[in-house]
Amino acid sequence: MPRNIKLAIGILAIAVIAGLLSLGGLRRHMQGLQVNQSTEEQARRAVLEPPISTPTDRPAEAEIFWAAGPGKVASTAIELPLSADPVERSRQLLQALIANPPTPEERTLPASTTVLGFYILSDGTAVADFSDSLAAETPSGILSESVAVNSIVRTLAANVPQLRRLKILIHGQEVDTLAGHVDLTGFFDLNPASTQPASDASGATVQPQQQTRASGAAPVTPSASQQTAAAGKIATGSAKAPK
């Protein structure tokens, strides 16, 4: 074999080995960044949204629905201190959903998301008000948005039987979609007495119910009373079919 060919093969082999070593180092560096980012997010969350504790908290096994592949969610049983009050219990569950995914790949909601308010009307309608980051940082797309909404809906449905349906708000306001695809103008079934469950076992996209909508309705704010604030957002008006 000519000397120049041997030399080229040798150089190529060295380059391949160096590339593999560099790739391994890059992978370890990325894993380190993920760990550091997770630690920073947890510290920031502890300040912005400290854990909820109530006098009626008791250790309980909760079903939390995290991502299980493209467009799918699956339940994981974890033990949490959960309140007997359905409002506080719901907030605790949503905090766990946001803050404690088993792996980064199983995360369904942006880590910076916070629950600004949670209200329950007398008919079992729940109103969950999330921070802007839920809409701004959820990747736009039918699969990613469906996973985000399904994780919220199925986690609440599995652990808070008092809830009948759910309305999702972003910073106190009704929005048309989460990030351009999944319709948020309607309600999502949780534990309805005589209708179908929120979504099938495969984790398919949750379809909102048809809702009545009032043009220019006042936003829900934590300072207003629970029923008045929530009812102001879902007051009867002209019906709008979900997209």
- Residue 208 pLDDT greater than 70, yes or no: no
My answer on whether 103 and 216 are in the same domain is yes
My answer on whether 110 and 44 are in the same domain is no
My answer on whether 184 and 227 are in the same domain is yes
My answer on whether 18 and 60 are in the same domain is no
What is the reported pLDDT for 181?
94
Q: What is the pTM of this model?
A: 0.66
What is the reported pLDDT for 40?
56
CA separation for the pair 79, 153 (Å, rounded): 19
CA distances to 116, 125, 158, 160, 176 from 191, rounded to whole Å, are: 23, 10, 8, 9, 24
My answer on whether 61 and 5 are in the same domain is no
- Tally of residues, the chain: 243
What is the reported pLDDT for 76?
96
What's the domain count of the chain?
2
Whether the Cβ atoms of residue 81 and residue 58 lie closer than 8 Å to each other? yes
For residue range 161-172, what is the model confidence (pLDDT) as tens digits? 999 999 999 999
My answer on whether 35 and 110 are in the same domain is no
- Residue 222 pLDDT greater than 80, yes or no: no
What is the reported pLDDT for 229?
43
What are the E-state strand segments in the chain? 58-67, 73-82, 115-120, 125-130, 165-170, 188-189, 211-213, 238-240
Q: Which residue did the predictor score with more confidence, 29 or 127? A: 127
How much of the chain, in percent, has pLDDT values that exceed 70?
Answer: 67
My answer on whether 107 and 212 are in the same domain is yes
My answer on whether 120 and 177 are in the same domain is yes
Q: Which residue did the predictor score with more confidence, 240 or 227? A: 227
My answer on whether 34 and 62 are in the same domain is no
My answer on whether 112 and 75 are in the same domain is yes
CA separation for the pair 141, 145 (Å, rounded): 6
Q: Which residue did the predictor score with more confidence, 90 or 220? A: 90
In this structure, the strands spanning 165-170 and 125-130 are: parallel
My answer on whether 73 and 30 are in the same domain is no
My answer on whether 38 and 135 are in the same domain is no
Q: Which residue did the predictor score with more confidence, 12 or 222? A: 12
- Residue 200 pLDDT greater than 90, yes or no: no
Whether the Cβ atoms of residue 136 and residue 111 lie closer than 8 Å to each other? no
- Cα dihedral 164, 131, 146, 35, rounded to 10, equals -120
What pairs with residue 168 in β-bridges? 128
What is the average pLDDT across 117-136? 96
238 falls in which pLDDT band (50, 70, 90)?
very low
Looking at 31, 48, 65, which one is the last position of a domain? 48
| Rg of the Cα atoms in the chain | 23
Range of the domain at 123: 56-240
